[in-house]
Structure 1
């Protein structure tokens, strides 16, 4: 049971969703908890069609998105069903925990229960708000409320005719509001963000903030301002003499420039804009003044660094020269994407590669004419301003700049068919990347800051060490889906060290996992990252519960051959495969494949599997209900249809309908 699927994995996601809903409904019935299949499906859809796509990751933000936005905009159902959404969501969240599926990086059950309770008070108003209603939902809900069957094409055609003829009543005022909202409301179908690799970030990274040049300059600027402030010109700028004094005090090197106004000292004005955006200083009644409430911030270099980094993305107009640079216009949108890209890339990144992608983004954002000379000029401005931005981030301590030849990784994809860069950009890159150039990588401070920004955007940004408090099943589930073998090994070692080093709790979690594919992935991950993994699997061959997946893994690695298996192991292996197929593709696919492979012996195989004694109780119950019973019914029906009866030669009478096969 995977809980993460790429957007294009439609069939795989739908099969997993069916399995999850089927199991959740069965569990809820056994627990006496409310649950509705439509609402469960909507909740799973809301997580799949999100920025991170993690079906089992829930926090208060996701609770609010589902109840206050997703249901009002998309879900069509009778009002009594919609009213039950908070309770059904709670049931789903409780089931995820009971089944060991919860992503431990999300909220705890207590936190989720509080979030649902708080959001439920706003939920009725959200349902009634036309601004949250999707146009498709408006008409579908109108049809449903008017008695039309949404699953019947003829009924829907009749609804359309009745609407056109004015025979169906609807609220025209609400429709008008829905139409207006279409042009102002952002869609909920979020673009999936690229998953970031798990990284190790030193917990003491904040200590480096005190050495930041920008932190020092911002603090020095506030000190220079003094308790009484500094008088400004009538246009709100520093007087030239004060500007020269401040430039020398901050070390910008601009104090001796031949200028007529303080506005002609770009680095000084950038630092002033930075200090204002960070709310260290303010302008009032013609004077530059300290902000009294900023005193605690100035005493804490780490907090000051973080605030300075956050406001950096608002400083585009103070960074770019000239002011009309295209990058300046898109600075707050493109620079975060640039740093996100650097975060996820190994080794030092060639700045020229980033310049090409930024230029391509600028062309996509803005309408450009075909004048080749002007485009070349604009491109050079964009490249220069990006370098300037990196130099400022280096002064802040967020990135490290160096010169050298880029790793071949950054040229290896230039000839791929799906490469988005145009041919002329690829040609430029081949030339530039063959020579030494400017390289950039994030410092530990920069890694932490960029990660925090991506987390705030709802992205999946794993951090090695963050799973130390996870339950055994939750730990293995995340490692199997989101970690590389190398980072999984480090994470697992830290988790084991915190608990004395024994793997038995992890094996117990695999034994308790009710999903065959998930259990196999969990055990496979454990075996892959441990030095004694293969010997562990061999030892589990005698384990009553884990033997089927251990034997499967040993066959996959070649440590076992089919002829090495006993008759009991062969049956267990076949059963394991069919149970896994049932999870991944559904009962119809199991019946189709068994029938295709075994022909007339298919039912015998199904009966053998049903009576195999496989230890996965829940999966076996599903197999008997969803596969064995339907095949048994089909088998009986076929025998009856072909049987010879008294007074008959076995010919069909010609009456009645043939059974579909």
Structure 2
């Protein structure tokens, strides 16, 4: 009975102010900002905007990396990010005294936004930086660039054996899997993911039992590929990464064999998405058209959008989303909010039972101010049952007893909602047996219920009920319901 569902569970993001602080603290962006403030009229850059080699020692010293053997490389990397994110602007290069084309540098408009702009401004700059670093992570690796230069001076890209789209797709797939593992109930949550498991998620077919030697070799290659890429991504703040232990490298192509069952898997690399990483990956997925919901997205929407939107949310995320939605309306708007929820819960479409279930759960968070709106639907054949449940749970007086037809209708609607939600089988079985056991001769009457899902519910009850006699009665009732629908 399930309708189309979002491809990813909802993410609970930090506030934009918190994310902006994380972005400013990302080592690479922080270094880029320091170099942008250091640069001046005498700063010399090459034709591509890169710092000339003669400037790198001073840049590294300004970053406090003068004694680091990789200081010049870190400075060059930070400068490229400053250019890519608009922290500095490079003017058209002109030929210098040595015959080399050199450009001049001015302060970029975005530099001031890092200190005086809004959190959204900071995050927009950081996202530009993430795009640039993502491109660096998927760039080809080569030992001698000179070997790629043809006689006419052009670069022989075919010799790289590199497909930029394929490389970007691979990394995006890995980041998507890491995002999903972080949000999944079966995943590590905020904990790190072993690099071999992440590599295997991209290589090993889901239906494969024991991986073949060829597949294990592919996993090993993917691990080392990811090891390089996560080392590039970590400084922008998207991940926390523990690299592969270099003592594990075989020396043959510098690959590490996937760990055996009894080995310490942490030595093979561990990666964890940061809160900033969750935000950044989600933004990239949204730009690519992926349905990647976030808790809070529905807080300013109508009740109909809310109930449809949380249809397949995990319980805690749905409760939080409803709480944010109600919070926007305040205690003084509780009655109006309850009326909106009840109105949105009506309908005979396939998703209506699940909407009513979430409406009932949402009403549980509304105070006694909602009582007039709830009492107003006591006579409604679709909502009268859940209204009585809400009032009874609060000990309200003068709650009229429901007619028998409403009791059966509510039972069918409740099971239909749980079937759509794909809940735990044991819980669903208990619900089926509990509802059918509350009324003698349940299946003799249930097939007459005027509900669009009656036949499907009875068929499911026939599959789920542990009592063979009751299961047979449910199947017989389902047949009658089908026949009734055809008449």
TM-score (structure 1 length as normaliser): 0.46
1:197 matches 2:16: no
1:315 matches 2:315: no
Q: Distance in 2 between matches of 1:581 and 1:211?
A: 58
C-alpha RMSD over aligned residues: 4.8
Q: Distance in 2 between matches of 1:273 and 1:321?
A: 19
Q: Distance in 2 between matches of 1:494 and 1:244?
A: 52
Aligned to 2:181: 345
Q: Distance in 2 between matches of 1:427 and 1:382?
A: 10
Aligned to 1:219: 33
Per-residue CA distance 1:334-375 (angstroms, 9 max, x = gap): 2222222111113221123223455779xxxxxxxxx99xx9
Q: In the TM superposition, what is the alpha-carbon distance from 1:388 to its structure 2 partner?
A: 3.7
Q: In the TM superposition, what is the alpha-carbon distance from 1:462 to its structure 2 partner?
A: 1.2
Q: Distance in 2 between matches of 1:578 and 1:236?
A: 66
2:338–2:363 contact (8 Å) kept in structure 1 = no
Q: Distance in 2 between matches of 1:356 and 1:224?
A: 44
Instruction: Determine which of 478, 498, 504 is the counterpart of 2:328.
Output: 498
Aligned to 1:243: 56
Instruction: Determine which of 154, 158, 168 is the counterpart of 1:332.
Output: 168
1:513 matches 2:347: yes
Aligned to 1:556: 431
Q: In the TM superposition, what is the alpha-carbon distance from 1:249 to its structure 2 partner?
A: 1.9
Instruction: Determine which of 214, 218, 226 is the counterpart of 1:386.
Output: 226
SS at match of 1:246: helix
Per-residue CA distance 1:613-649 (angstroms, 9 max, x = gap): xxxxxxxxxx5xxx32xxxxxxxxxxxxxxxxxxxxx
TM alignment of 1:153-552, pairs within 5 A:
195-203=7-15, 204=17, 205-230=19-44, 232=46, 238-252=51-65, 265-279=72-86, 280-282=88-90, 284-285=93-94, 286-290=101-105, 292-299=108-115, 300=117, 301-316=122-137, 320=141, 322=143, 330-346=166-182, 347=188, 348-357=192-201, 383-401=223-241, 428=259, 430=261, 434=265, 437-480=268-311, 482-499=312-329, 500=331, 504-505=338-339, 508-509=342-343, 512-515=346-349, 517-527=350-360, 535-536=389-390, 542=402, 547-552=407-412
Aligned to 1:415: none
SS at match of 1:448: helix
SS at match of 2:56: helix
Q: Distance in 2 between matches of 1:452 and 1:387?
A: 23
Q: Distance in 2 between matches of 1:466 and 1:426?
A: 43
Question: Which structure has the greater CA radius of gyration?
Answer: 1
TM alignment of 1:593-604, pairs within 5 A:
597=476
Per-residue CA distance 1:482-532 (angstroms, 9 max, x = gap): 3112211211222233333567436623652232x4222223344568879
Per-residue CA distance 1:242-293 (angstroms, 9 max, x = gap): 2111122234557657xxxxxx954343334333433434362222433544
Task: Call closer, same or farther: CA 1:212–1:605 in 2, change over 3 Å.
Answer: closer
Aligned residue pairs, count: 369
More helix by share: 1
SS at match of 2:310: helix
1:355–1:386 contact (8 Å) kept in structure 2 = yes
Task: Call closer, same or farther: CA 1:509–1:297 in 2, change over 3 Å.
Answer: same
Per-residue CA distance 1:60-119 (angstroms, 9 max, x = gap): xxxxxxxxxxxxxxxxxxxxxxxxxxxxxxxxxxxxxxxxxxxxxxxxxxxxxxxxxxxx
2:448–2:481 contact (8 Å) kept in structure 1 = no
1:254–1:265 contact (8 Å) kept in structure 2 = no
1:281–1:288 contact (8 Å) kept in structure 2 = no
Q: Distance in 1 between matches of 2:257 and 2:45?
A: 53
Task: Call closer, same or farther: CA 1:508–1:319 in 2, change over 3 Å.
Answer: same
Task: Call closer, same or farther: CA 1:486–1:429 in 2, change over 3 Å.
Answer: farther
Name the stretch that deviates more: 239-248 or 556-565: 556-565
Q: Distance in 2 between matches of 1:444 and 1:603?
A: 51
Q: Distance in 2 between matches of 1:208 and 1:598?
A: 60
Per-residue CA distance 1:530-578 (angstroms, 9 max, x = gap): 87999549779727996444223388354434462699x9646632456
Aligned to 1:418: none
Task: Call closer, same or farther: CA 1:436–1:276 in 2, change over 3 Å.
Answer: same
Task: Call closer, same or farther: CA 1:508–1:565 in 2, change over 3 Å.
Answer: farther
Name the stretch that deviates more: 300-309 or 430-439: 430-439
1:199–1:463 contact (8 Å) kept in structure 2 = yes
SS at match of 2:270: strand
1:485–1:529 contact (8 Å) kept in structure 2 = no
Gaps of 5+ in 2: 95-100, 146-159, 183-187, 206-212, 245-255, 366-385, 394-398, 416-429, 460-472
Q: Distance in 2 between matches of 1:459 and 1:550?
A: 36
Gaps of 5+ in 1: 6-51, 53-194, 258-263, 362-370, 405-424, 586-593, 607-622, 629-661
Q: Distance in 2 between matches of 1:598 and 1:196?
A: 37
2:203–2:219 contact (8 Å) kept in structure 1 = yes
Q: Distance in 1 between matches of 2:450 and 2:431?
A: 14
Q: Distance in 2 between matches of 1:450 and 1:507?
A: 33
